[in-house]
Amino acid sequence: MNREELKKILPHREPMLLIDEAELKEDNLAVGKYTVKGDEWFLQGHFPGMPIVPGVIQCEMMAQTCCVLMADKVKGSIPLFGGLDKVRFKNPVRPGDTIEFECSMTKSRPPFYFAKGKGTVGGKPAVRAELSFAIVPKK
């Protein structure tokens, strides 16, 4: 899915649509990618002369990739973060890097959903986390 196709699932819009493409690889594996251009709003001031993608932005990118796994539930609703657990940052993500996420669901108790994910750059680990979501109707 490209950005326009993702907009049919995700409620996010620019500048908060933070993945360039995503696909469902298997029943329970979603892969999402984002290439850091260097002019993104979240790099301004983080850090002058040495821009690094903030960890919280990497977690949001991972969460948006998770939404591909829940496409039928997310469409027409709002996925809200319930929590982040066991978050670890291994290597910085910088302009020019393409970060690739692999996410899978671990359990669900609607309207709550639980997933795990990891992000890599060039095969090297960048971030990993366990995530939880609540899917709520749009008001």
Please confirm, yes or no, whether 46 is among the known catalytic residues: yes
Write out the residue range of the structural domain in which residue 43 sits: 3-137
Task: Please tell me which residue in 46, 73, 94, 118 is annotated as part of the active site.
Answer: 46
Residue 123 CB partners (closer than 8 Å, separation 6+): none
Q: What is the mean pLDDT of residues 37-65?
A: 97
Q: Residue 105 maps to which CATH number?
A: 3.10.129.10
In this structure, how many other beta carbons lie within 10 angstroms of the beta carbon of residue 59? 19
Quick one: pLDDT at residue 84?
98
Name the β-bridge partners of 124: 121
Count the domains in the chain: 1
Grade residue 23 by pLDDT with cuts at 50, 70 and 90: very high
pLDDT digits (tens, 9 = 90+) for 94-133: 999 999 999 999 999 999 999 999 999 999 999 999 999 9
pTM here is 0.96
Q: In this predicted structure, what is the pLDDT of residue 40? A: 97
Q: Which two tokens stand for residue 138?
A: 């749009």
